[in-house]
Every structure is written in C-alpha cells, then in structure tokens.
Amino acid sequence: MAAESLLTEKELDALRQFDTCMISNAIETFDARLRNTGFADASIRSVFENFPPLVGYAVTARLRSGEPPMVGGTFRDQAAIWNSIRQIPSPRILVLEDMDRPPGRGAFVGDMHAAILQALGCMGYVTNGAVRELPAVQAMGFQLFAGSVAVSHAYAHIFEIGTTIAVGGMEVRPGDLLHGDRHGILTVPRKIAAKVPNVARELQQAEKTVIDFCRSSEFSVEKLSEIMKERR
C-alpha cells in the first residue's frame, strides 16, 4: 500500500467518531461503488457489541481447520503470517476467509492468538469462521467479528497470505481500510476516506432534524414530505 494513501492518526480518529451505519451512508454520497457492495452481510457479527468502532488496515489470508495435515498431527509454523502482518501499516486488522464448508469447524483466534496479534499491532480480527475464549479476549480489548463461536481450534492453519479474499460477501484486499462496530463491518475506499467524516457529520445533523421534527408538536405529513424532499 502506497505511503501517500495512508490516513493520519487524526483522520483515522475522525472515522472512529461515527457508527458504521453513518459511515456507510456517507460513502454512498460519493458514488464510489454500488450500494450493495463493500460490506459484510449479517453472517458476520460483532462479538463484543459494546466496543467502540474499529478502524484499521486489513491483513488478509485464508484459513482451514477441518482437516489434519498430511504429515504430523498439527500445523505449527505461523511465522509467515506474523511477518506478513508487519508489512501492513498500523492500525492493523487480521481478516481470514475460512475455506471449510461449512466454515467454523475450528477457531484460529482465542486468547493466545489475540495476545500475539495485539503484540503485532492488530486491533481486531475478522472471519467468516469461528472464534473462542471470549471472556479473556474481551478483557484484552481485542475486537472480534466472526460467523460463529467454536470450542476447539481443531486443525486451524493459515495459507494464501496476502491475497484478495471474501468474508460475508465483502471483498477484502491487503491494505484495505476497514470500519466496524456492533452493526457490522465495511471497507472504506481510501480515495475518499479522509472526506467521509465531514459528510457523515452533515448527514447526522440532517437526520437529527428529521427526528426532532417527528417528535415535535408541529409534526404533519405534509411538512414531513417537504423536509424529506429537501434531503434528496
């Protein structure tokens, strides 16, 4: 990812001030992509819903856990993914596409791997597969987005590091900027990312105007129609 495309910490923090729904609304105003793309579907859920919005750059790979290795009883060498993580600017988010069908036979991330990922500058983890050891991971402040929860890591191992993947119908490339909270997770196009917070702020105020009017004694369908026409 080119250095000039990175956001400053101030710009990243500005994105964290809005929920993912408002970020999605703001992105739509730029016509940067189709409105039915760029976000994960409801199969990917925020595990810790009270955590603040997660913003970071994606480290991508694929995962399998359902089948044992050809030789030996376990997959042990994870050095390739650890080194790959450091090639992506911080803040980082590990995103793994679970290739098992159905996904989630085993969980790669529990408390130990969450601690390792934090040490490598990752703020969270996203997968269509499973996660585990939730109380310990929550206590670390490490955010999880996953399709399920599993009791075992089974034969979890990572391969095809640094490739374009898909989780919950959302395409993710290495270095993509992600924004997620209790509502879900999406990608933020880097070419507009720095402009998104200002637009989100304007949309937030416009929505507040409608909400306040609906709660007022002056409410009428006629006036509501006028207000909504002005929003288009």
Longest dimension (CA), the chain: 74
pLDDT at 231: 74
pLDDT at 69: 64
Say whether 141 sits in a helix, a strand or coil.
coil
Residues 68 and 50: their CA atoms lie apart, in Å, by: 36
Strand intervals (E) in the chain: 45-46, 54-64, 92-98, 107-109, 122-127, 130-131, 143-146, 148-149, 157-159, 165-167, 170-172, 177-181, 184-188
pLDDT at 77: 60
Q: How far from the centroid of its chain's Cα atoms is residue 185's Cα?
A: 4
Residue 230 placed within a domain? no
Query: What angle, 0 to 180 degrees and rounded to 10, lies between the N-to-C axes of helices 221-231 and 196-214?
Result: 170
pLDDT at 23: 98
pLDDT at 221: 96
Name the H helices within 86-159.
111-119, 134-140
Residue 148 amino acid letter: S
Q: How open is the CA angle 57-58-61, to the nearest 5 degrees?
A: 160
Residue 206 placed within a domain? no
Contact (Cβ atoms closer than 8 angstroms) between residue 132 and residue 108: no
Burial label, 58 (beta-carbon count in 10 A; 0-12, 13-18, 19+)? buried
Residue 218 placed within a domain? no
Residue 207 placed within a domain? no
**CATH label of the domain that carries residue 138:** 3.50.30.40
Say whether 188 sits in a helix, a strand or coil.
strand
Domain that holds residue 54: 3-198
Residues 18 and 221: their CA atoms lie apart, in Å, by: 30
Structure-token match 């999605």, residue found: 24
Contact (Cβ atoms closer than 8 angstroms) between residue 167 and residue 148: no
Kindly give the parts of the chain with pLDDT less than 50: 2-4, 70-75
Residues 15 and 5: their CA atoms lie apart, in Å, by: 15
Instruction: Enter the tokens of residue 207.
Output: 């929505």
Closest to 94 in 3D by CA, of 119, 135, 60: 60
Residue 232 placed within a domain? no
Query: What's the total number of domains in the chain?
Result: 1
Residue 158 placed within a domain? yes
pLDDT at 72: 43
Residue 184 placed within a domain? yes
Closest to 44 in 3D by CA, of 161, 148, 124: 148
Residue 31 placed within a domain? yes
Task: Please state the φ and ψ torsions of residue 43, each to the nearest 5 degrees.
Answer: -75, -15
Residues 171 and 178: their CA atoms lie apart, in Å, by: 11
Put simply, whether the predicted model's pTM sits higher than 0.75 gets the answer: yes
